[in-house]
Amino acid sequence: MNDIGVIEIGREAFWVILVVSGPVLIAGLVIGLLIALFQALTSIQEMTLVFVPKILVIFVALVIMLPFMINHMLVFGESIFDKIIALG
């Protein structure tokens, strides 16, 4: 395998990481911004007000997005194994 092949695998791996983690991170970001706006408007500075809803939203996002995430990682894994088989 040459340098270009290694760079291509690294690029694909980085893209898979972004695509798989993106929806959950965006859900956490959106709920964090909404709660921060609510706290700023009401002057409530309670830490559990941020923590509990964010954990719940991230858990729901994981449950909803898990089939997509697993499928994307399986496709990437199969492509890596195909490249390994092509080498040997």
pLDDT tens digits along 14-36: 999 999 999 999 999 999 999 99
Q: At what angle do helices 3-42 and 47-87 cross, to 10 degrees?
A: 170
> What is the radius of gyration, based on Cα positions, of the chain?
19
Over range 52-75, report the average pLDDT: 95
What integer best gives the mean pLDDT of the chain?
A: 92
Split at pLDDT 50, 70, 90, the class of 43 is confident
* pLDDT interval class at 72 (50, 70, 90): very high
What pLDDT, on the 0 to 100 scale, is given for residue 80?
A: 95
pTM value is 0.81
For residues 28 and 58, the answer to whether their CB atoms sit within 8 Å is yes
